[in-house]
Structure formats: C-alpha cells, structure tokens
Amino acid sequence: MSRTSLRSSRTAVAAAVVVAVAACGGGDEPTGADPTTAGSLDTAGGVVTASSEVPSSSDGVGVALILKNTSNPFFVSMSDSARAEAEALGVELTVAAGTEDGDTDTQIAAIEDAVDRGDAGILITPNGDAVVPALEAAREAGLYTIALDTPPNPADAVDITFATDNRAAGVLIGEWTAATLEGAPATIAMLDLFDDQVISVDVQRDQGFLLGMGIIDEVDTSGNGEESPTGEYRGGEYEIVCHEATQGAVDGGRSAMEACLAQDPDVDVVYTINEPAAQGAFDALTAAGSAQDVIIVSVDGGCDPGLRLVSEGVIGATSQQYPGRMATLGMEAIAELAAGGDAPEVTPGLDFFDTGVSLVTDSPVDGVDSISVAEGREICWG
C-alpha cells in the first residue's frame, strides 16, 4: 500500500498541536518499573532503563508522538520526556494531540501525516477505537507503532504497548480504601472516564478498584457498572450510587460528582479515574459542605496537581504512574529498531510492557505497600 493512498479526505488539522524537534542535545535517564531499581530494555521483571548510547544510524529517523490532549499534565510530561530523549538520540520528533479526550479525528490525521512523512515509528495514547484502522495502515506501511498508557482495542493494532498496569493501580487504591474504612459502611461514587465508549484504561482502573475493595472477583471487559450495586466489600457493607463520566477533566469531575450527590448526598467514598477529576469532585463536595467526610482516591501521581492534592488531604491515596518513562522507552525502542536493533518484548506474564506503579499516601495502612508524598515527589512522572 503506498503512503499516498493512505491519506483520506478529511478536515483540516488545525486543531492538532504539532511541533518539530531538532536533534541536538541530551536527555534524562528514566528509572525502572520499580522506581528504586535500574535495569535494561530486556524486560526482566519489567525493570527498564534507557540506554545512554545514541544509535549510530539514528540521523533522519522520524518519530510521531500523538497524545490524547495537551490540557492534562500527564500528557505534557510525556511530551517533555519524549523531546528530551529525541535530542539525546538524534531523532526528529513531531508532537500532535487531540483537542480533548475522545478526539480521534485529530489523532487519525496525525497518524496519516506520520506515514506521509516516512517516519520510522509512532507513539500514541489512543483516544478511542476509531484510530485503529489508521494504526493498522501505518503498520502496513512499515512504521513501528507503540501505544503509551492506553492500549488500543484490539491491543494488537499496535506492535506493543508501554503502560502502567492499570488494573494493579486500581487494586492498590481499592485495597487502601477498604483498609482505611476499617469495616464502616461505604457509600461509593464511581467517577469514570467515558460513558459513550469502552476504553481499557477506564475499565481496568474502575474494576481494579472494585477488585481491591473485594466487591468483585474478576474484571468484565465489556464495560463499567456491571457489578452489584449493594453487597459486602472486604470488611463491611457497600452501596454504589453512581457511575458518571468525567472526560478526565476538572469540570467533568465536578459535574459528575454533583450528579452523584443528587442521587445520594451521603456519599463517603469517591473513586476517580484521574486527579483532575478528583479535584472537580472535591470542589463539588466542598460546595455541598461534605468534603471533610469523604475518602477520595485516584490514579496518576503527578507532582502537581496529584501529589499536591494528596499532601493537602484532598486525595487520600493515589496510584503513581510514570508517563515520562513510557515516552522515553518508546523513543529509545524506535531508535534502536531503526539502527538495526531488536524490538522490545512484553513483560513476562503480561501482554504489554509494564512501566510500574506505586501507591502514594501519607496515611499508610497495614498490608498495602505504599510510599510517602515526599518519596513520590522524588520520582513523580519520571
């Protein structure tokens, strides 16, 4: 299939954020899946470290980094790390992003642009299933494709995914919540990502939390909200009063929390898909006069707002991811392949490359491994 034939008629790509990065400097070395341990790209135990050697034939290698959006600091961190690694490796990097979570049109256009430029590879945080045909076409055209953070559906639409084990991230905050409750009844609000499409990261975090709480014993990949609304968690009784979409944003978190409070003003546990949604939920709870009585948990672990919100008591605990590591290792993998090296392999026992997760809280509980906010700040989003 020719590169020219891959470009379909489409709207202008004015919404894309595109930046070409010249190759010229040096970058930071990432830590491994265990934030205190260094390793290699051989995936032994999921522990990884970017090589300090610049591939000799990386000149002229093009890589496209295609993000969900540029409003979430998580994706800004990915971009910053990718730029630093591009300079270190002598790679020409183009960065594009959707206008918001769920914007697949802009991502599709960016994928097609990468093919037209003759890039060596694509790093993408997919906004939805609609990007899959374009990714498959890019692979057919010879581009090595890596999903970061969010695998596509199906997962084999890309060559490999570098990501947090999102189910494990959810389990950690669920276990922490159950232990913190100490058997007290739990009235739970679930603030998810979407309600109009099924995204793996959304399902895995949501249902990982429920696994950790002991509310379910297996994940239903068809979507969220299939669990029993009442029953027993690990230690006491629970009621789930709502599943509301937030779009992963502060405004979405606030409106979702307001909708949940309208159903039951006595919510005392709030699961949130990410920390911007957690901030919005807290704002709604504050306006309702009940924030001080609610446990909020989340996933991401950024220095700000995530760890700041934990230190301020807004979030009780969060599962820290390492988006900079995802981007850095993805850049290195494509550069190594272009220089004739080997393709990366998945972490043993998983169908993706695990870039690690840590529970961050200043209120640790017995039986759940965690690090403090101070420790989290030392490695946040590395």
* Together in a domain, 240 and 114: no
Distances (CA, A) of 371 to 207, 240, 357, 362, 377: 23, 29, 11, 8, 10
Residue 331 · residue 86 · CB < 8 Å: yes
* Together in a domain, 150 and 239: no
* Together in a domain, 66 and 83: yes
pLDDT in tens, 314-355: 999 999 999 999 999 999 999 999 999 999 999 999 999 999
Helix (H) or strand (E) holding 82: helix 73-89
* Together in a domain, 202 and 84: no
pTM of the model: 0.75
CATH code, domain carrying 257: 3.40.50.2300
Residue 18 has pLDDT above 70, yes or no: no
Q: How confident is the model at residue 59 (pLDDT cuts 50, 70, 90)?
A: low
Residue 186 · residue 238 · CB < 8 Å: yes
What does the alpha-carbon distance between residue 227 and residue 241 come to, in Å, rounded to a whole number? Answer: 12
Angle ∠(300,246,75) on CA atoms, nearest 5 = 40
Domain that holds residue 38: 3-164+323-351
* Together in a domain, 192 and 305: yes
CA dihedral 44, 38, 321, 127 (to 10 degrees): -60
**CB atoms < 10 A from the CB of 17, how many?**
16
Residue 181 · residue 159 · CB < 8 Å: no
* Together in a domain, 112 and 198: no
DSSP type of residue 371: B
Residue 199 has pLDDT above 50, yes or no: yes
Angle ∠(225,354,168) on CA atoms, nearest 5 = 35
* Together in a domain, 334 and 301: no
* Together in a domain, 309 and 264: yes
Sign of CA dihedral 27, 28, 31, 37: positive
- Report, as an integer, the average pLDDT of 79-100: 95
* Together in a domain, 42 and 91: yes
CA dihedral 8, 11, 15, 18 (to 10 degrees): 30
Residue 30 has pLDDT above 70, yes or no: no
Q: Which residues of 48-87 are buried (b: 16+ CB within 10 A; e: fewer)?
A: bbbbeebbeebeebbbbbbbbbbbbbbbbbbbbbbbbbbb
* Together in a domain, 186 and 109: no
C-beta contacts of 225-231 below 8 A and 24+ residues apart: 225/190
What does the alpha-carbon distance between residue 17 and residue 109 come to, in Å, rounded to a whole number? Answer: 12
* Together in a domain, 233 and 316: yes
Residue 61 · residue 338 · CB < 8 Å: yes
pLDDT at 201: 87
Length of the chain: 382
The token pair that represents 216 in the structure block: 């379910």
- Report, as an integer, the average pLDDT of 147-151: 91
As beta bridge partners, residue 244 has 191
Q: Specify the amino acid at residue 147.
A: A
pLDDT at 209: 98
Q: What's the number of domains the chain is made of? A: 2
pLDDT at 11: 32
> What residue has token string 């945080």?
125
**CB atoms < 10 A from the CB of 239, how many?**
16
Residue 36 has pLDDT above 90, yes or no: no
Nearest Cα residue to 298 out of 260, 271, 266, 328: 271
pLDDT at 19: 34
- Report, as an integer, the average pLDDT of 140-146: 98
pLDDT in tens, 161-181: 999 999 999 999 999 999 999
* Together in a domain, 95 and 181: no
Nearest Cα residue to 62 out of 25, 92, 82, 22: 92
